[in-house]
């Protein structure tokens, strides 16, 4: 990408986009340029649409397609504006799927099959406080307020700060973990080579944990956050409270969990149960 790469990265850094977003947008633009083998400023709207068709024909994932469109829209809107309208590069229509949720029994099995204390605590943060993986790994020692029993989440999705409750059980594990790894913990709660622990290691350990727990349903680390929200609703916590704990801007985003919370579904009876069925003896008559 040459100069365009530097300009694009500088613009995204100025705008304050997340490191993962900067990496993914740059990667997708490199793939586009490699496909055509020409300067991106020479490409036309028709080229981008043909590239989209190429991605569809090669059965790329919905996530990859969405990231490709987002990267092109950013590049041709902010880095290299063109005469044609970049909004003509459309996203695919997305299926409205409900989130996968672990049951409380499955959460217990996951925790029972976590070998290392550090990995168990990372899972506990996600489930007990509804944190995303990036939010867990970005936690610092100073973010844990044991006096007020709160966790301070800095610059979550949308660059928003929020507080979420600190579970007493989690605090017990944290104190044990801190005693064990005090010599390693300086700033970040989960240190790694580049300051904090990387996502890749957390994802791999969680997948292995699911396998050991014998959980066959499709679930990712983010499923822990879905489970946090759903279980709160099932326990009678107000939807607005759940919205604030998750850090959602719109209540509509949080309302999706009403579709998977069992108390909202099971409390409604089937119309079949209101029908009159004669007994077997009455049928014989």
Q: So what's the pLDDT on residue 271?
A: 79
95 φ/ψ angles, rounded to the nearest 5 degrees? -75, 140
Q: How far apart are CA 141 and CA 177, in angstroms?
A: 12
Q: Which of 66, 109, 157, 199 is catalytic?
A: 157
The chain-wide mean pLDDT, for the chain, equals: 89
Flag whether pLDDT at 282 surpasses 60.
no
3-state SS class at 87: helix
Is 178 designated active site? no
Which residue's structure tokens are 């090669």?
58
What crossing angle do the helices spanning 239-246 and 222-234 adopt, rounded to 10°? 160
Domain 104-266: top CATH class? mainly alpha
Burial class (CB in 10 A: 0-12, 13-18, 19+), 70: middle
Q: Which of 132, 196, 226, 231 is catalytic?
A: 132
Q: So what's the pLDDT on residue 260?
A: 87
Which residue's structure tokens are 């594990």?
173
- Mean pLDDT throughout 228-252? 93
Structural fold of domain 3-88: DNA polymerase; domain 1 (1.10.150)
Q: How far apart are CA 123 and CA 11, in angstroms?
A: 34
Question: What's the pLDDT band for 198 if we cut at 50, 70, 90?
Answer: confident
% helix, strand, coil for the chain, step of 5 = 60, 5, 35
Is 132 designated active site? yes
Q: Which of 196, 225, 226, 231 is catalytic?
A: 225
Residue percentage of the chain with pLDDT more than 90: 65
Query: What residue ranges of the chain are covered by domains with CATH 1.10.443.10?
Result: 104-266
Flag whether pLDDT at 76 surpasses 90.
yes
Is 183 designated active site? no
Query: What residue ranges of the chain are covered by domains with CATH 1.10.150.130?
Result: 3-88
Q: At a CB cut-off of 8 Å and minimum separation 6, what does 184 contact?
A: 191
Is 169 designated active site? no
């Amino acid at each position: 990408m040459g100069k365009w790469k530097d300009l694009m990265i500088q613009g995204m850094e100025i705008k304050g986009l997340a490191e993962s977003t900067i990496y993914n947008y740059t990667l997708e633009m490199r793939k586009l340029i490699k496909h055509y083998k020409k300067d991106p400023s020479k490409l036309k709207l028709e080229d981008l649409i043909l590239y989209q068709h190429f991605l569809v024909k090669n059965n790329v994932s919905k996530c990859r397609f969405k990231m490709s469109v987002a990267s092109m829209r950013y590049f041709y809107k902010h880095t290299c504006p063109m005469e044609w309208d970049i909004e003509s590069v459309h996203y695919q229509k997305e299926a409205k799927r409900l989130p996968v949720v672990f049951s409380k029994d499955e959460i217990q099995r996951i925790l029972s099959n976590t070998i290392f204390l550090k990995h168990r605590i990372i899972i506990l943060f996600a489930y007990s406080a509804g944190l995303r993986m990036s939010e867990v790994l970005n936690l610092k020692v100073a973010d844990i307020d044991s006096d007020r029993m709160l966790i301070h989440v800095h610059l979550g999705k949308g660059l928003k700060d929020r507080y979420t409750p600190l579970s007493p059980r989690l605090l017990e594990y944290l104190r044990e973990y801190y005693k064990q790894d005090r010599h390693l913990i300086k700033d970040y709660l989960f240190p790694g080579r580049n300051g904090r622990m990387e996502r890749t290691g957390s994802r791999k350990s969680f997948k292995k944990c699911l396998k050991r727990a014998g959980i066959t349903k499709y679930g990712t680390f983010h499923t822990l956050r879905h489970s946090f929200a759903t279980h709160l609703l099932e326990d009678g916590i107000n939807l607005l409270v759940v919205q604030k704990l998750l850090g959602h801007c719109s209540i509509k985003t949080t309302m999706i969990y009403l579709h998977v919370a069992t108390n909202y579904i099971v409390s409604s009876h089937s119309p079949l149960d209101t029908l009159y069925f004669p007994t077997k003896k009455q049928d014989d008559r």
